[in-house]
Amino acid sequence: MDYPSNFIKTIIEEDIKNKKYETIVTRFPPEPNGFLHIGHARAIITNFELAKSFGGYTYLRYDDTNPSKEDEIYVKAIEQDIRWLGYEPKSIFYASNYFQIMFEKAILLIEKGLAYADFSTQEEISRSRGDLHLKGIASKYRSSLSIKENLEIFNKMKDGLYNEGEVVLRAKIDLESNNINMRDPVIYRIVKAIHHNTKDKWIIYPMYDFAHPLEDAIEGITHSLCSLEFEDHRPLYDWVVQNCEMKNEPRQIEFGRLTLENTVMSKRHLRTLVESKKVSGWDDPRMPTIAGLRRRGYTKEAIKEFVFSCGLSKVNGTISVEMLESAIRNDLSIKARRVNGIINPLKITITNYPDDQKEEFLVPYHPDDEALGSRIITFSKNLFIERNDFSEVIPDPKFKRLSLGLEVRLMHAYFIKAEKIIKDIKGNILEVLCTYDVETKSGSGFSKRKPNGTINFLSIDDAINLRTNIYSKLVTGEIKENVLDAFNENSLQIKYGYCEKSLLNFKSEDKFQFIRNGYYVIDSTSTKDLVTVNEIVQLKSSIK
């Protein structure tokens, strides 16, 4: 798949045409404070594909400037996700590797009179910066401290002589700016926590808006691509690069966020679901994380097709989940093997079939691709069919399944006719007694009668125990403050049935189609005694 044209690609083409850059260098800069989700997948694909389109390359850089929320487990998960999507970073960097340089650049700003220490509380600073209607008000520390005093205080901050929240370092820019981000933002604060990379070397940490432009400039990034909410931060980004006297001046370009309809797209909310144990972990198949989608059975090709089909916009947009589901259907319809699985089993007994007889049929895994191979299925006296493939009373003229007096074809086997129903004392159907016609064997060319449809089946003698995990949306309704209030307690349904024994040869993450049902994947918890599968998507679009 070639990366489609978009407004950023056009900008880069113009930059190359004007010889502004020789080599295009982009970066994917995640914060290692959670697992990546489908929105991050779009950012990954955009950065890597754009650079590749122009013969350039992409770095992976961890923006690890907040040790209180970061962990090595997230670092490893992010790398795994990127490589699974099919990308290899040119190099892997950490913001924390530049802390010494950032400290020196902060010193430079103080020496230039462009940064000062502020002992005001967080609430006081926030209030003094004003809002869209009120201009900012200068802190008493803005002009009362000399450059020498600011340098001394900043060094004492570094040496641990102040408590968290006691003092911060602010940039001195413009308190009357129409852009609130330029009203003396905090650029350094004290955090007494162990950092996953630098351990206890630092107790002062740069704020994102200060660190990020420096990282881009240090690495020689040509095009710093970010989501739309950073558009108002761009003047601050440029101010930092210029006033810190960085050799390279990256170009920040913003694009709209991708939001999936009825999907939790906030790492904060996703973390709450994990920590409250409402889900089994970050890779729970209900989660919109890349790890969750992978365990759910989504392929990297389907995710790329989805991202490409959504395009790249200058505005935020909400996309229907149906588009993502359509992408995985398109991919799996070509590559997924077809097998028999009975999720809601109903017993069928062929009364005129010998008790001790069994027949074997060599059946292809895919009707249109011989390369996917074949397997053997069996036919015997006792069978399972899907419960919804039988109806005691025909519901409508379009019903093309089994009912009393009607004849259907069992796929790859024979015609059978329902003759009698066996029920329990509550009236529930336990078993359907049928007869078969030996002359109707599949492949025999029989054409004297037309069956009332074709259904799949399993021989009870060879059926393997099956657990099917069926998923629906994680939340119902609008998420206000607490995602747990909107959590869908029925987002996971477990059904026990049977599958053909060929699935015992499938490996974890192998995808397949249960014939006439949907697409599934072998879960990592699957065993020989209980094959466990996750529903990827139904065969036809269905909103749950």
User: HEC profile for 3-57?
Assistant: CCCCHHHHHHHHHHHCCCCCCCEEEECCCCCCCCEHHHHHHHHHHHHHHHHCCCE
Residue matched to tokens 């004290």: 190
Name the β-bridge partners of 538: 518
Q: At residue 479, does pLDDT exceed 90?
A: no
Q: Does the pLDDT value for residue 42 go beyond 60?
A: yes
Candidate list 172, 257, 271, 347, residue with the active-site label: 257
Q: Is the pLDDT of residue 211 over 70?
A: yes
Rounded CA-CA distance 23/6 in Å is 19
Question: Alpha-carbon torsion 515, 519, 521, 525, what sign?
Answer: negative
Tell me: the pLDDT tens digits for 144-197?
999 999 999 999 999 999 999 999 999 999 999 999 999 999 999 999 999 999
Q: Give the SS3 label for residue 488.
A: coil
SS3 65: coil
Q: What are phi and psi of 399, to 5 degrees?
A: -65, 115
Token duo for residue 96: 């924390």
What would you report as the CA-atom Rg of the chain, rounded to the nearest whole angstrom?
A: 31
For 522, phi then psi, to 5°, come to -70, 125
* Domain locations in the chain as residue ranges: 7-259, 260-335, 345-360+379-460
Interatomic CA distance for residues 65 and 175, integer angstroms: 26
Average pLDDT over residues 202-222: 97
CATH of 260-335, one of 1.10.3720.10, 1.10.1160.10, 3.90.79.10, 3.30.390.30: 1.10.1160.10
At residue 544 the predicted structure's pLDDT band, cuts being 50, 70 and 90, is: very low
Average the pLDDT over 292-308 and give the result: 97
- 112: annotated active-site residue: no
DSSP-derived secondary structure letter, 178: S
Residue pLDDT, tens place only, 127-140? 999 998 899 999 99
Beta pairing partners, 465 = 498
Of 129, 170, 267, 473, catalytic: 267
Identify whether the C-beta of residue 263 lies closer than 8 Å to the C-beta of residue 254: no
Reduced to 3 states (helix: H, G, I; strand: E, B; else coil), residue 169 is: strand
Of 199-208, 283-292, 475-484, minimum mean pLDDT range: 475-484
Number of residues that this document lists for the chain: 544
Active site annotation includes 257:
yes
* Closest-CA residue to 336 (of 304, 307, 297): 297
Average pLDDT of the chain? 95
Task: Check: CB of residue 534 under 8 Å from CB of residue 296.
Answer: yes
E-strand stretches of 136-181:
168-171
The average pLDDT across 43-71 equals 96
- CA 131 – CA 43 distance, rounded (Å): 31
User: What gap in Å lies between CA 43 and CA 51, rounded to an integer?
Assistant: 12
CB burial readout 348-366, b (16+ within 10 A) else e: bbbeebeeeeeeebebebb
Tell me the per-residue pLDDT of 307-337, one tens digit each, with 9 for 90 and over: 999 999 888 888 999 999 999 999 999 999 9
Whether residue 542 is predicted with pLDDT greater than 80 in this model: the reply is: no
Q: Cα separation of 231 and 252, whole Å?
A: 9
Would you say residue 543 has pLDDT above 80? Answer: no
With bands split at pLDDT 50, 70 and 90, how would you rate the model's confidence at 1? low
Which CATH code, of 2.40.240.10, 3.20.20.10, 1.10.10.10, 1.10.3720.10, is assigned to 345-360+379-460? 2.40.240.10
Residue 260's SS3 state is strand
- State the greatest distance between any 2 C-alpha atoms of the chain, in Å, as a whole number: 101
Active-site position among 9, 31, 158, 417: 31
The closest alpha carbon to 206, from 321, 97, 74, belongs to 97
Instruction: Match domain 7-259 to its CATH number in 2.60.370.10, 3.40.50.620, 2.40.10.410, 3.40.50.300.
Output: 3.40.50.620
Percent of the chain with pLDDT over 70: 99
pLDDT at 408 over 70: yes
Q: Is 275 a catalytic residue?
A: no
Using alpha carbons, list the distances in angstroms from residue 395 to 399, 400, 438, 542: 7, 10, 29, 21
Percent of the chain topping pLDDT 90: 91
Confidence tier at 284 by pLDDT (50, 70, 90): very high
The pLDDT tens digits of the residues spanning 26-37 come to 999 999 999 999
pLDDT of 111-121, one tens digit each? 999 999 999 99
